[in-house]
Amino acid sequence: MKTITEAKSELSSNRKISDLLFILWAGGAALLSYSLVYALRKPFTAAAFDGIEAFGFDYKVLATIIQILGYLIAKFVGIKLISELKQENRLKFILVSIIIAELSLVAFGLLPTPYNMFAMFFNGLSLGCMWGVIFSFIEGRRMTDILASLLGISIVISSGTAKSVGLFFMNTLHVSEFWMPALIGALALPLLALLGYSLTRLPQPTAQDIAQKSNRVTLNGKQRKELFINFMPFLILLFVANLMLVVLRDIKEDFLVKMIDMSNHSSWMFAQVDTVVTLIILALFGAMVFVKSNMKVLVILLGMVVAGTATMSFVSFNYDFLQLDSITWLFVQSLSLYIAYLCFQSIFFDRFIACFKIKGNVGFFIVTIDFIGYTGTVLVLMFKEFAHADINWLEFYNLLSGYVGLISSVAFTCAMVYLIQRNRREKLIQKGAVTETVISAERNGMEQTLVQI
DSSP-derived letter for residue 116 is G
Whole-angstrom Cα distance, residue 48 to residue 68?
17
Conformational region of residue 323, where left means phi above 0, alpha means psi within -120 to 50, and beta covers everything else? left
pLDDT in tens, the chain (453 residues): 556 554 455 445 556 678 888 889 999 999 999 999 999 998 888 888 888 888 888 898 889 889 989 999 999 999 999 899 988 999 999 999 999 999 999 999 999 999 999 999 999 999 999 999 999 999 988 888 888 888 877 877 787 788 788 989 999 999 999 999 999 999 999 999 999 999 999 998 888 888 888 888 888 888 899 999 999 999 999 999 988 888 888 778 767 777 877 667 676 777 778 778 878 887 888 888 889 899 999 999 999 999 999 999 999 999 889 888 888 888 999 899 888 888 888 889 999 999 998 888 898 898 998 888 888 878 777 776 666 556 788 888 899 999 999 999 999 999 999 999 999 998 888 777 555 554 454 445 544 543 454
For residue 318, the Cα-to-chain-centroid distance in whole angstroms is 28
Backbone angles phi, psi at 57, to 5 degrees: -125, 170
Q: Return the sign of the alpha-carbon dihedral for residues 113, 118, 122, 127.
A: positive
* Residues near 275 by beta carbon (within 8 Å), at least 6 away in sequence: 157, 160
The pLDDT, as a whole number, for residue 449 is: 42
Q: Map out the domains of the chain with their CATH numbers.
A: 4-452 (1.20.1250.20)
Outline where 111-231 has alpha helix (H): 119-127, 130-136, 144-171, 180-200, 207-213, 221-230
**SS3 (DSSP) at 245:** helix
User: What whole-number distance in Å separates Cα of residue 353 and Cα of residue 216?
Assistant: 9
Percent helix / strand / coil, the chain, rounded to 5 = 80, 0, 15
Asked whether 238 and 369 are in contact (CB, 8 A), the reply is yes
- Residue 351: the pLDDT is 92
Counting Cα atoms < 13 Å in the Cβ hemisphere of 383 gives 10
Tell me how many degrees the CA angle 181-187-189 measures, rounded to the nearest 5: 95
Rama region for 174: left / alpha / beta (φ>0; ψ in -120 to 50; rest): left
Residue-wise DSSP of 67-114 = HHHHHHHHHHHHHHHHHH--GGGHHHHHHHHHHHHHHHHHHHHHSPTT
**What is the H or E stretch that residue 399 is in?**
helix 393-452
Task: Tell me the CA distances in angstroms from 366 to 127, 212, 235, 339, 395, one per residue in order.
Answer: 14, 21, 11, 16, 30
How many angstroms separate the CA atoms of 314 and 401, rounded? 9
